[in-house]
Amino acid sequence: MERATKRIISTQLILVFLLIPMISNAQKHDLPLSTLAGVAQLREYTSYRISSFDTTGKNADRLVIKSGETRVIADIKGSGIIKHIWITISCKDRMIRRNAIIRMYWDGETEPSVLSPIGDFFGNGWGEKYNFISLPLAVAPKSGNALNCYFPMPFSNSAKITIENQSDEDIDAFYYYIDYEKHKKIPKSLGRFHAWWNRQLTPPLPEGENEWSVLGNQKPNTSGSRNYLFADIVGRGHFVGVNYYVDSPSPMWYGEGDDMFFIDGQKWPPSLHGTGTEDFFNSSWCPKEIYMHPYFGYARVNNNIGWLGRTHCYHFFIESPIAFQDSLRATIEHGHNNCLTLDICTVAYWYQVEPHKPFPEIVPKEKRQNMPPIGVVEIHRWRDAWRKAMGDSLLWGNEKKVKF
């Protein structure tokens, strides 16, 4: 474990030093540079923070958000850029990270540009807590309790962030910082930040969950119409990343599905067509190990037989975001040709010119809960059903056909 931790830290340090020579064009607009090379550049903005500090000077530095309450945690007027958000939560509800919703609104819009369960947005799925490292998002100790976001979020007239507690329990303590810069004006070239959570229990093919041609020859996917949807965006902008949380009810490899990004109304095959899920997340050969690079990785992997259970992958397009002028349909298959039933939740992140296409209303909390875990009892029942289908003979488990 110690060696693995050192490898992760080393990767982070190497990337930081690689980034040092980079100087952003933002300097032309008196915007902050994010690398060490620009630290000496003098700034003209004013730094502000909104936080949950006790305004009486005492130490009750937290909010209480009642069950069913929506609390505005930031309502900023004027031009600026939110540069960092930090949150930690105490609640009796173990699923509060799935049951609390974060929304963000820019420049007086009535439809949110960010809509997601709070845990999934920051990089923790299934209501769980675990450490997570990336450049734009991080979940930090103790034990994955500290949620951090470094995506820059520009606005020209106003910014509003709300938290809705859809849990049956009160949030007893909601601590937060929102650090932002106040600017005289924001360049028109800056897009507005967006993030959208989606979930689907994906359907199998009529012929069954035929992965790796286990049940016969596999058919091709020449349209992408049944792919899982990361985001369906209208307007001009660029896609900057995705957190992908998959729960597989089978030991079969979940990741033969190709990513497909249909830019500006492209038909199949799109200009961005991948070769497999793990390839899209910059890994290879069906991995089951923790690896966290600033741009991509596996923050959580299953510890069960095969690939049964929960895996969290992420990929951020920091060096070259996926640009689009009119629209983007970002998708990925669930198994080759969409053959597998998987519980997939994702948060997609992008920037675009407003107004954006309104998001569908987020599903009720009852439909955001985790699927029951599949364990040894369920697998033994599968074996019993298979034995009976094979004639209830003396069978080991690897037989394809029994002779009577």
Over residues 156-186, the pLDDT tens digits come to 999 999 999 999 999 999 999 999 999 999 9
State mean pLDDT over 222-238: 98
pLDDT at 402 (0 to 100):
57
Whether the bond into 403 is cis, omega within 30 of 0 = no
Paired tokens of 317:
């397009």
Residue 34 pLDDT grade (very low, low, confident, very high; cuts 50, 70, 90): low
pLDDT of residue 29: 47
- When the pLDDT of each residue in the chain is averaged and rounded to a whole number, the result is 92
* All residues at 6 or more sequence positions from 396 whose CB lies less than 8 Å from its CB, including other chains: none
**Tokens describing residue 21:** 């020579």
Beta bridge partners of 245: 312, 345
- Residue 12 in this model has a pLDDT that exceeds 70: no
Domains 44-191 and 193-352 share a fold: yes
Calculated CA dihedral for residues 235, 240, 246, 251, nearest 10 degrees: 120
Pairing relationship of beta strands 192-201 and 114-117 according to DSSP bridges: parallel
Q: Which residues contact 16 (CB under 8 A, 6 or more apart)?
A: 36
Residues 6+ apart with CB under 8 A from 250: 209, 306, 307, 308, 340, 341, 374
Tell me which of 35-44, 271-280, 395-404 is least confident.
395-404
CA 173 to each of CA 63, 102, 199: distance values in angstroms, whole numbers, following the listed order: 6, 16, 28
Report the predicted TM-score, pTM, of the whole model to 2 decimal places.
0.91
Tally the C-alpha atoms within 13 A of residue 361's C-alpha that lie toward its C-beta: 4
Q: Which CATH class is domain 44-191?
A: mainly beta
Q: Which tokens is 235 given?
A: 């307007």
Q: What percent of the chain is predicted at pLDDT more than 70?
A: 91
- Checking if the pLDDT of 39 tops 90, the result is no
Range 193-352: architecture per CATH: Sandwich (2.60)
Radius of gyration of the chain measured on its C-alpha atoms: 23
Q: Single out the residue of 300, 296, 203, 311 nearest to residue 251, CA to CA.
A: 311
Cα-Cα-Cα-Cα torsion 363, 116, 123, 263, nearest 10 degrees, comes to: 100
DSSP E strands in 156-279: the ranges are 158-165, 171-183, 192-201, 228-234, 237-248, 259-263, 272-273
- Residue 118: per-residue pLDDT: 98
Per-domain residue ranges for the chain? Answer: 44-191, 193-352
Please report, rounded to a whole number, the percentage of residues in the chain having pLDDT higher than 90: 86
pLDDT for position 403: 53
Question: Three-state SS for 122?
Answer: helix
The model's pLDDT over 52-70, given as tens digits with 9 standing for 90+, comes to 999 999 999 999 999 999 9
**DSSP H helical segments within 85-142, as ranges?**
96-99, 118-122
Collapsing DSSP to helix, strand or coil, 193 comes out as strand
Helices (H) and strands (E) in the chain, counts: 5, 23
Q: How far is CA 253 from the centre of its chain?
A: 21
